[in-house]
Structure 1
């Protein structure tokens, strides 16, 4: 064996002389200890890389949204404050051995948003009080019945638990009082069952109710007073972000379809509509929690949070059409490039105007103002749609004159995209109507006269008086319709 092979194997070579005078080569491989050491180092490196990767993910979560880190500190502070009742002798003697119920209350009711905490605190307080009072009443009646006391207690527990569990299937109860029903069943079961062996049941129930009240008070104090996170504001920001993403998706879908094959990006820039399609659960949950929040900032006591769900539903209707439009860009059957050029400019214009309307609507919701600029943007979008429809009607004659060798079947994918753009514009008008309803119900403030003049000036720039209207009307009539 040559030296290079020996070095590659990392072994030793011994030569032994035998009786005949010939030499035999004996190789010594690396020992078990060395292989085990290398395996241990590899495992330590793998564990260290995973620890570093996990730490980096945790850091990114805290850096992207510092409120999540603050929420953890708030929970720790609330638990530290409520634990004083357990560690301090005078306070512990005041609430008795039920002080741990205050700690448990903070653990189960402290949520990320104020609405979530208020929802759980209210449900827990009402459920605990009602179940405790009802259990005391049933226990008093059962104690007067003599030997039938276990039967009455068990029968009441069966009936109330069955009725409360069935009520969770009612949509209204499920949405607003599901947690309270669970606490009601738990509290009634504990008080009713333990009351059979406890003499002073009223004192025990009063101690538990007082400790629950202490935990609720500390939880709400920390959640509301220290960097509160309002579910209403989260819902408001989610709606505006979805509108902005939807606007970018409209432009991205049109650009992806009309881009040349060589210049078409591998990853579409129009994935924003997917966030809109997947946000229904978040919108419904935040709208439900926002109803429990007190008035704060620009959000009044009876702010129309349910209208945000309607705005989101109209945006999802638009996003479904965008999903179909995005699939057209990746379809195998495409219209020829020379056919796409016939409607490229007008389709791009429609996409840009649709995106402009969505951005104006997003700005209106974000600033809580009603602006006439949104109406001007809708008028521009409708004008571009009318132009697109006119070009679609004249497309067969254009093919006969310019591209006689092109069949009408080659234009079907292009007509599909154009039809989807028309449908998207109609659904965007639905989004605008939902935003107008939200502005009316939420009393969005009106813009100043200067802002109105700016909007009119912008409209005049878009529709100069020296250009004829597309449908043959005079410029004066066009401005009157707007």
Structure 2
């Protein structure tokens, strides 16, 4: 304590504490460095692949900027070398396939647009006078309108929209450049060279520095959906036994979110499959790999997810007590279907043949026969209930059980289709046979 003073007028005591300035400095220092824990938390939560992609993009920008600053390059290309920087910015994509297809689109669009633009400009120079402006205007109008109409064609828009857009841009820029014909060719050549350099740098960082393959993304995404759907099947069947007994089941929002994510993944899978077709050979994914089979399996998964959502939407309003026999059948079906889905997902993930098709087929047939028998029994019970021989509570219980059994039959059929689809994928893609100790 530094000093204590008595204020006689107000009878107050003022206490001066040593180290006050030091404490305030330490608090200010903590505030200055307070962002570091937040940054560390963000980095921990971020996907490693996204961080790798960001670092690769930064490296590509550094390389192309250093290239632009070289005197030799600047003397040769002049300000056209800036097109290399723009090319890196617009071409860099998350996966190798997306980068390759976008680069090819840009290259083809630039070449065709530049070639036609040079032809239009030289033709306009030959005409001269007012006819020069008319020729350029008519050419840009006709070619631009035709290219824009092509962009509206679904197949072209999905695969080549960026290339057509670059074609329109390059055609317009070259056509209205206003320089002499011999200089037009030189400008187009310099810009094409700059674009090629930018594409080369982008391709190098994308292909050779921790490449992120669209094929791998599609492969792992599809395999993970099998596990997600398996969990949804278990939640759906088990919850309608647990909740009917008055217990709390799985959170509905979490349960259905998995199925909705499968339903909304169609466009993502189609894009990844399209990108994967343009990727070079890597790992076990070679040329002519059957990516269409992946899309067929994804479609079957979406149908299965739709069945689960539909059944859940009806069953959540009908939490009647299930018969004991129905409970046991639901437990058996849950175990069989979820186990089969996880085995199918593992078969795709590890690229190994699904060896349990015959065994699974027999188990599915037996389960289907049991379900059909129970459906007939409950259908008869419901018919009797409508005649008034049984009370209303039993009627609701029988109707609830019958719909639950019908839903299981539909889910069972979808899983059987998936078994066939995965088997066909294994044959087309050359999946290896599992080791003897892995067979059961």
| TM value normalised by structure 2 | 0.84
Asked if 1:279 corresponds to 2:265, the answer is yes
Q: How does 1:51-90 map to 2 (within 5 A)?
A: 55=39, 58-62=42-46, 65-90=47-72
Asked if 1:109 corresponds to 2:91, the answer is yes
2:122 maps to which of 129, 140, 156: 140
Asked if 1:291 corresponds to 2:273, the answer is no
Larger deviation, residues 269-278 vs 214-223: 269-278
Q: Secondary structure at the match of 1:391?
A: helix
Work out the CA distance in 2 between the residues paired with 1:61 and 1:145.
Answer: 64
How many residue pairs get aligned? The number is 402
Residues 397 and 87 of structure 1, relative CA distance in 2, 3 Å threshold: closer
1:187 maps to which of 170, 173, 181: 170
Partner of residue 295, structure 2: 309
1:202, distance to aligned residue in structure 2 (A): 1.2
Partner of residue 188, structure 2: 205
Work out the CA distance in 1 between the residues paired with 2:102 and 2:431.
Answer: 31
Work out the CA distance in 1 between the residues paired with 2:371 and 2:377.
Answer: 10
Let me know the Cα RMSD of the aligned residues.
2.7
Tell whether the 8 Å contact from 2:240 to 2:319 is kept in structure 1 after alignment: no
What per-residue deviation string (whole Å, max 9, x for no partner) do you get for residues 94-125 of structure 1? 22221110000000000010011001111111
What per-residue deviation string (whole Å, max 9, x for no partner) do you get for residues 317-362 of structure 1? 011111123224421x332x2x432300012211211112211211
| TM value normalised by structure 1 | 0.77
Q: How does 1:456-467 map to 2 (within 5 A)?
A: none
Partner of residue 433, structure 1: 420
Work out the CA distance in 2 between the residues paired with 1:375 and 1:342.
Answer: 27
1:151, distance to aligned residue in structure 2 (A): 1.0
Work out the CA distance in 1 between the residues paired with 2:409 and 2:276.
Answer: 36
Asked if 1:381 corresponds to 2:367, the answer is no
Tell whether the 8 Å contact from 2:122 to 2:181 is kept in structure 1 after alignment: no
Gaps in structure 2 of 5+ consecutive residues: 1-9, 11-27
Asked if 1:270 corresponds to 2:255, the answer is yes
Work out the CA distance in 2 between the residues paired with 1:357 and 1:266.
Answer: 22
Larger deviation, residues 372-381 vs 159-168: 372-381
Work out the CA distance in 2 between the residues paired with 1:170 and 1:60.
Answer: 43
Tell whether the 8 Å contact from 1:257 to 1:328 is kept in structure 2 after alignment: no
Work out the CA distance in 1 between the residues paired with 2:227 and 2:178.
Answer: 59
What per-residue deviation string (whole Å, max 9, x for no partner) do you get for residues 256-276 of structure 1? 110045422361463332221
Work out the CA distance in 1 between the residues paired with 2:379 and 2:236.
Answer: 25
Asked if 1:169 corresponds to 2:156, the answer is no
Work out the CA distance in 1 between the residues paired with 2:118 and 2:54.
Answer: 38
1:251, distance to aligned residue in structure 2 (A): 0.8
Gaps in structure 1 of 5+ consecutive residues: 1-13, 15-43, 456-482
Higher RCO by CA contacts (8 Å cutoff, separation 6 or greater): 2
Tell whether the 8 Å contact from 1:356 to 1:377 is kept in structure 2 after alignment: no
Work out the CA distance in 2 between the residues paired with 1:306 and 1:366.
Answer: 17
Q: How does 1:434-453 map to 2 (within 5 A)?
A: 434-447=421-434, 450=436
Asked if 1:99 corresponds to 2:81, the answer is yes
